[in-house]
């Protein structure tokens, strides 16, 4: 169970954000307060110094003793806090000034915010010495060192930021930890408990709450949830009593089954595909006048047992009439799966049934309504569609199976026929592996082969339709078919090893086959049985394969690395080749990259993609094979650009095993062929 963003992260971000804003406001207020204190300290120090020379300076100015006045003004220089000392008349005319070095400039914003520079003005003397109305003749104006004050303000800012940011971090972590222990952990426990519930446990489930949370909001949440669960269970029980089951089979009757179907449609977490089957067993109706009641009930129970034996665990069975049954086939998502299930049910029903002295072979008809998962239809509408299909099946004859959509019936029957043909072809050895040489471009000699599946046609030739593999994946036959291909490939390699042939053989894998639970065990068994040497078997996985969990599939392949199996990535560049995907490949045992034939076909006119793929392979230290080489121009370009290996119709088409081995024993370079 995963969450996209943990509540712990969100609450820590919220606490940190509020703390930072609060501290910024506090730091700003404290900064201006401390700066004002420094201004006042500077002003007070300058006033004390100014009063100490006020009388001598007044006498020097009164006596017009300019050298003495300059000397007195220059006594401020050693103090280090004064950068300017002037004598100014009341009309702001400067008459004397000290010799001070130029002051270092302060950023204009700082000067504006903190009212720099700091200046004081001290009267020197008065002409009239009347106590009531003293009038100064001139003023001593001192200016503090703004740069020194600016440095102090910077030091204050750094100290405040370091101190309070550390406090904010400690406070955020402490508050988040407390909130995590008190809120997130209990909520996460509740979520895991709910996520682990089986479908049958949901209705009667009750949340357990720690005693520490019984009197807070989490306890209130659990109590409200438990109360709602009890109400739902009570209402559901009342509904079950209102909708009785069949007295003999105890199966849901039509009303209850329709309600169960409606609840499934209403409460399923996402729109899913399923099929609804209605089964009418005509023999039950025909035997009603021949058998007594206990015998009829026994026959009915036997038919129900046969139907149930064909159903999956999560399929729902109901009895909608005396001889009519309904199936909510959750496990059959696709139409051909529903048709296969219907055939299994029909085969089970049609088996001979003996009751007393009467032996019958029951007959039935089945109607199917397919829900494609693109909407939420009414349960009654689906039941009506299935019943319409059942009526149509009755009109067709006995033991008929029809979909509500006639076209769907035709397609599913065609697919099941094709499925049967494939199984028969496997039994009758109609499949074969053709081998296509893989060539070293510098010498044009065979250094490997790719095994390609072919099927014998009625005229004796071999071919394989382009849609065959996707179809085999869809109907679930790719696993046994893929195992057959792997075993045949291992047999070929075992024969080659005995004959001294030491070239690798590549076998294609389906994404569905890789994800099969027994794939790894079956492959290791084959490697052990045929004693395949390391590096001889190459498993090709197509980059565009339909793999639901690519990480898991590729990690599964990495487990084969210790068994000596090489891995090739086929059709490279056509699927997941993002930077993130390439970064994952660096850590996985990918030995070979096969450049897709669509890129090779553009050579030599458009060589950008081939250059890119080649550069990626070189950077990752992975071998490269070019697929689909069909003319000399492509061959020459690949050889000139140091692509080491290639395969294609230019060298040889896929051929039977004996023809390939004959070509291999000749040992000569493959001649180029014209045409495709």
Residue 584 has a pLDDT of 59
- Distance of CA 586 to CAs 190, 382, 581, 616, 626, Å? 39, 51, 9, 11, 21
Identify any residues that bridge with 364 across adjacent strands, giving them in sequence order: 281
The yes or no reply on domain 249-404 and CATH 3.30.70.270 is: yes
The residues, ordered by sequence, that sit 6+ positions from 464 with a Cβ below 8 Å of its Cβ are: 452, 453, 454, 455
Comparing CA positions, the residue from 604, 602, 582 lying closest to residue 593 is: 582
Do 286 and 248 form a contact (C-beta atoms < 8 A)? no
The Cα 600–Cα 427 span in angstroms is 38
Pairing assessment for the beta strands 316-319 and 324-329 based on DSSP bridges: antiparallel
Chunked in runs of 10, what are the mean pLDDT values of the chain (676 residues)? 61 77 84 83 81 79 76 77 80 76 82 82 64 68 81 83 82 78 77 72 73 76 81 67 72 87 74 87 82 85 92 89 91 85 92 81 90 80 87 84 77 73 85 93 90 90 85 80 92 93 91 79 89 91 54 68 81 56 63 87 87 84 89 90 91 92 79 51
Place of tokens 């005229």: 459
Any idea where the domains of the chain sit in the sequence? 7-126+135-163, 249-404, 432-666
Residue 573 has a pLDDT of 59
Residue 568 buriedness (CB in 10 A; 0-12 / 13-18 / 19+): buried
The Cα 602–Cα 276 span in angstroms is 51
Q: Tell me the backbone φ, ψ of residue 484, rounded to 5 degrees.
A: -60, -45
The Cα 208–Cα 214 span in angstroms is 10
Place of tokens 């009414």: 378
**Which ranges constitute the DSSP H helices of 453-501?**
468-475, 478-499
The Cα 655–Cα 169 span in angstroms is 71
pTM of the model: 0.51
The Cα 47–Cα 141 span in angstroms is 10
603: phi > 0 → left, psi -120 to 50 → alpha, else beta; which?
beta
Question: 432-666 sits in which CATH class?
Answer: alpha beta
Pairing assessment for the beta strands 139-144 and 274-281 based on DSSP bridges: unpaired
Q: What is the DSSP string of 199-237?
A: GGGSTT------GGGTTSHHHHHHHHHHHHHHHHHHHHH
Fold of 7-126+135-163: Beta-Lactamase (3.30.450)
Residue 130 has a pLDDT of 47
């Amino acid at each position: 169970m995963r969450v996209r963003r943990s509540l712990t992260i969100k609450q820590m971000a919220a606490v940190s954000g509020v703390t930072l804003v609060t501290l910024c406001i506090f730091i700003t207020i404290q900064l201006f307060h401390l700066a004002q204190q420094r201004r006042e300290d500077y002003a007070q120090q300058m006033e004390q110094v100014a009063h100490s020379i006020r009388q001598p300076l007044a006498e020097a100015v009164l006596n017009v003793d300019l050298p003495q006045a300059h000397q007195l003004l220059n006594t401020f220089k050693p103090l280090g806090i004064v950068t300017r000392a002037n004598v100014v008349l009341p009309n702001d005319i400067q008459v004397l000034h000290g010799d001070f070095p130029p002051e270092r400039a302060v950023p204009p914003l700082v000067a504006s915010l903190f009212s720099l520079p700091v200046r004081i003005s001290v009267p020197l003397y008065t002409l009239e010495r009347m106590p009531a109305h003293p009038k100064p003749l001139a003023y001593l104006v001192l200016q503090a060192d703004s740069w020194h004050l600016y440095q102090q303000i910077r030091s204050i800012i750094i100290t405040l930021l370091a101190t309070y940011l550390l406090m904010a971090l400690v406070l955020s972590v402490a508050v988040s930890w407390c909130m995590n222990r008190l809120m997130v952990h209990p909520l996460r426990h509740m979520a895991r408990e709910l996520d682990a519930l089986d479908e049958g446990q949901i209705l009667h489930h009750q949340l357990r709450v720690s005693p520490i949370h019984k009197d807070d909001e989490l306890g209130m949440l659990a109590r409200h949830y438990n109360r709602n669960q009890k109400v739902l269970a009570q209402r559901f029980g009342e509904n079950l009593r209102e909708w009785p089951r069949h007295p003999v089979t105890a199966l849901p009757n039509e009303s209850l089954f329709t309600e169960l179907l409606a609840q499934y449609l209403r409460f399923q977490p996402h729109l899913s595909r399923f099929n609804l089957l209605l089964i009418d067993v005509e023999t039950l109706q025909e035997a009603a006048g021949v058998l007594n009641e206990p015998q009829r009930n026994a026959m009915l129970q036997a038919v129900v047992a046969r139907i149930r034996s064909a159903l999956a665990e999560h399929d729902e069975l109901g009895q909608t009439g005396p001889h009519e049954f309904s199936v909510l086939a959750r496990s059959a998502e696709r139409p051909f799966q529903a048709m296969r299930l219907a055939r299994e049910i029909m085969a089970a029903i049609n088996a001979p049934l003996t009751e007393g002295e009467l032996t019958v072979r029951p007959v039935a008809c089945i109607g199917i309504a397919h829900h494609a998962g693109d909407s939420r239809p009414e349960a009654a509408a689906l039941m009506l569609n299935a019943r319409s299909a059942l009526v149509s099946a009755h009109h067709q004859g006995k033991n008929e199976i029809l979909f509500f959509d006639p076209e769907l019936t035709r397609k599913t029957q065609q697919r099941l026929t094709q499925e049967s043909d494939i199984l028969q072809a496997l039994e009758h050895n109609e499949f074969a592996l053709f081998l296509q040489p893989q060539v070293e471009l510098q010498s044009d000699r065979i250094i490997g082969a790719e095994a390609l599946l072919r099927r014998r046609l009625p005229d004796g030739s071999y071919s394989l339709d382009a849609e065959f593999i996707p179809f085999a994946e869809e109907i679930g036959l790719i696993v046994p078919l893929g195992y057959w291909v792997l075993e045949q490939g291992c047999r070929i390699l075992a024969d080659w090893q005995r004959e001294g042939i030491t070239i690798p053989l590549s076998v294609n894998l389906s994404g569905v086959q890789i994800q099969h639970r027994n794939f790894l065990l079956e492959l290791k068994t084959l490697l052990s049985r045929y004693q395949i040497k390391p590096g001889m078997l190459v498993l090709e996985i197509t980059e565009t394969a339909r793999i639901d969990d690519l990480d898991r599939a590729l990690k599964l392949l990495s487990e084969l690395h210790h068994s000596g199996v090489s891995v090739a990535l086929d059709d490279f560049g056509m699927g997941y080749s993002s930077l993130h995907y390439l970064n994952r490949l660096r850590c996985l045992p990918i030995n070979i990259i096969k450049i897709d034939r669509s890129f090779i076909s553009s050579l030599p006119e458009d060589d950008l993609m081939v250059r890119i793929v080649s550069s990626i392979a070189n950077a990752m230290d992975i071998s490269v094979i070019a697929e689909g080489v069909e003319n000399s121009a492509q061959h020459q370009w690949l050889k000139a650009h140091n692509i080491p290996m290639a395969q294609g119709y230019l060298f040889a088409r896929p051929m039977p095993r004996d023809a390939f081995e004959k070509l291999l024993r000749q040992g000569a370079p493959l001649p180029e062929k014209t045409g495709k």
